């Protein structure tokens, strides 16, 4: 089991609803997609996500997912990821994105 954290530490993570606007291949990366997401800000953000072997581009576009919006930026090759999507490992070994049951406005905080 992971180390326990305080409620105040948990509240530092800004979990938001994001809508996937577009998905692109990344040259030379067979597991990664470059996602453009709307999290309710003026400009879309870029996420680099290792979900290529589990989802097609068509399956991802338009999907509403949960992201950690205030995670520090991470350089991956020549690209910068501006957050992280949340996913779980399924029983069959694939990954399942954390999505929402009903449509919500992009940028809505998870609470």
CATH number of residue 21's parent domain? 2.40.50.140
Contact present, 66 and 100 (Cβ < 8 Å): yes
Residue 8 located in a structural domain? no
Contact present, 43 and 77 (Cβ < 8 Å): no
- pTM above 0.75? yes
What is the domain extent for residue 46? 13-97
If one counts the domains in the chain, the total is: 1
84-85/64-68 β-pairing? antiparallel
Q: Mind listing the pLDDT tens digit of every residue in the chain (111 residues)?
A: 889 999 999 899 999 999 999 999 999 999 999 999 999 999 999 999 999 999 999 999 999 999 999 999 999 989 999 999 999 999 999 999 999 999 999 999 998
Q: CA–CA separation, 33 vs 51, rounded Å? A: 7
Instruction: Give pLDDT, residue 111.
Output: 84
Residue 109 located in a structural domain? no
Residue 104 located in a structural domain? no
Contact present, 49 and 86 (Cβ < 8 Å): no
């Amino acid at each position: 089991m992971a180390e326990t954290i305080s409620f105040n530490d948990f509240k530092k993570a800004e979990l938001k609803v994001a809508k996937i606007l577009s998905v692109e291949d990344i040259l030379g990366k067979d597991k990664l997609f470059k996602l453009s997401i709307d999290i309710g800000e003026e400009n879309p953000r870029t996420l680099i996500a290792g979900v290529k072997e589990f989802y097609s581009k068509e399956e991802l576009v338009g999907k509403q997912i949960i992201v950690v919006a205030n995670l520090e930026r991470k350089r991956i090759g020549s690209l910068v990821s501006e957050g992280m999507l949340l996913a779980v490992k399924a029983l069959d070994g694939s990954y399942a994105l954390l999505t929402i049951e009903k449509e919500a406005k992009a940028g809505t905080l998870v609470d």
